Amino acid sequence: MVAVDSFNVYEQETGMSPSDDSPFAFKEILVETTDTADDTDTIAITLADYGMTAVKTVKGFTHSTSNSVIIVEAPTTSVTAGVLTITVGGSTDNKKRVFLVGGY
């Protein structure tokens, strides 16, 4: 299990309802790890803790050694009993990783 620096949740209205508290609001969870994340490390996210019940997208990124370049990196994911498990992809160790989880 990798250490996580922060979880941030962003919500946006999808235009399907005139109210701001619409159940159709799309949420994004931004997960940022420490710079010690290794490939094959895992992150477990209980979706209900962030107001989410269904995952639609998971995008992964890593920082280069100098932290000046952001690289797209595909993680492996699974959802079991409302818990999303992200397995860090790529082939390098000791890098900061960022994951963007989208759903509702």
CATH code of residue 79: 2.60.40
Distance between CA atoms of 43 and 33, rounded to whole angstroms? 9
CB distance 7 to 86 below 8 Å: no
- Is the model more confident about 70 or about 46? 46
| Count of C-beta atoms within a 10 Å radius of residue 74 | 10
pLDDT for 10 = 66
| CA 30 and chain centroid, separation | 5
pLDDT tens digits, one per residue of 13-64: 555 555 555 555 678 889 999 888 998 999 999 999 888 889 999 999 998 7
**Number of domains comprising the chain:** 1
Q: What is the DSSP code (8-state) at residue 38?
A: -
Residue 57 domain boundaries: 4-103
Backbone angles phi, psi at 48, to 5 degrees: -60, -25
Whole-structure pTM value: 0.81
- Is the model more confident about 66 or about 56? 56
